Amino acid sequence: MLRAGLSMKLCHDYQKQPPVMFFKVMTKRQKELKENRVILFIVLFCSFASDHCRENMSTQKTVKLVTTHVLYEMKLKGEKISMLTAYDYSMAKILDEAGVDVILVGDSASNVMAGFETTLPITLENMIYHAASVVRGVKRALVVVDLPFGTYQGNSREALASAIRIMKETGASAVKLEGGREITESIERILSAGIPVMGHLGLTPQSIHKFGTYVVRAREPEEARKLKDDARIIEKSGCFAIVLEKIPASLAGEVAESVKVPVIGIGAGPMVDGQVLVLHDMLGINTEFSPRFLRRYHNLHEEIMGAVQRYIADVRSLDFPNEKEQY
């Protein structure tokens, strides 16, 4: 359009002007054309740059690093928090790429990775090994590590030393402790070093020998009142979030309403701020553990079993490796 408009203008000018003036007019029109081209280039470039920036900003928003503050904002906005356990690099990398908000390096590794009946046998060194492996596979999610049994109860100085080791040797983002009023000194001492703490109330597996059973906790009014008091106490002590395990859904909802920090449930109903499951349970790797609150999203036990059996059959029949699978 610019070129056609200029040609018509030049013909009109030639009829009105002598040859010398015509060339002056043509030179002026060529200059205008050049300027128009420059302006068009700038407009197109700015449009491209703007689109690129928007796409880049969208990507940055998608891969936004999850922090304790982000979880707090999610609660304020009513956005539910997703949390799963992981104990190794490969699984952690998959969970992070899938978009899970929080990865818990749980002391449940004692059960699903080491085969112990309870979480009590796992050591601080074991937890550091698992947590360091997880952190190497994570770019976005908040990584929280359980302090194992015997590393914080009754001794706040030992609690701080244990938390510092985890943070220094793994690169994790926070630690998790089980208990209420009785561990506030440990919580506060850990926080004094700038280490974020997640609390855990309700069924606390490290106290299994005290309870004697894994049944639903806080059904009785007295225990329910204590749980609500403990939630407020550990929030006041500085916990950035609280896990509620295996308690009545209505009670969990009351707790979530009564505190400002995010409340994440496992077997605590839908009225909390997020949910957590043990990865090996929800993927169906473990088939022996089937509590009411567990939803299995896959049956990896069956799939892995079938794949291994096919591999064994292929090896024995000389079907593997074939010509394409050798050098």
The catalytic residues are 245
Cα angle for residues 164, 167, 172 (degrees, 5° grid): 155
Q: 258-272: buried (b, 16+ CB within 10 Å) or exposed (e) per residue? A: ebebbbbbbbbbebb
Cα angle for residues 234, 239, 245 (degrees, 5° grid): 70
Closest by Cα among 273, 272, 300, 268 to 284: 300
For residue 235, the 8-state DSSP code is: H
Using CA atoms, how far apart are residues 195 and 264, in angstroms rounded to an integer?
Answer: 19
With a CB cutoff of 8 Å and minimum separation 6, the contacts of 92 are 86, 103, 133, 134, 135, 136, 137, 138, 143
Using CA atoms, how far apart are residues 84 and 102, in angstroms rounded to an integer?
Answer: 7
Using CA atoms, how far apart are residues 170 and 127, in angstroms rounded to an integer?
Answer: 9
Write the CA distances from 315 to 262, 305, 312, 319, 324, integer angstroms.
Answer: 52, 16, 5, 6, 15
Using CA atoms, how far apart are residues 173 and 170, in angstroms rounded to an integer?
Answer: 9
The DSSP line for 290-306 is: --TT------HHHHHHH
- Integer-rounded Cα Rg, in Å, for the chain is 31
Are 154 and 87 in contact by the 8 Å Cβ rule? The answer is no
Q: What 3-state class would DSSP assign to 144? A: strand
Supply 236's token pair.
């006041």
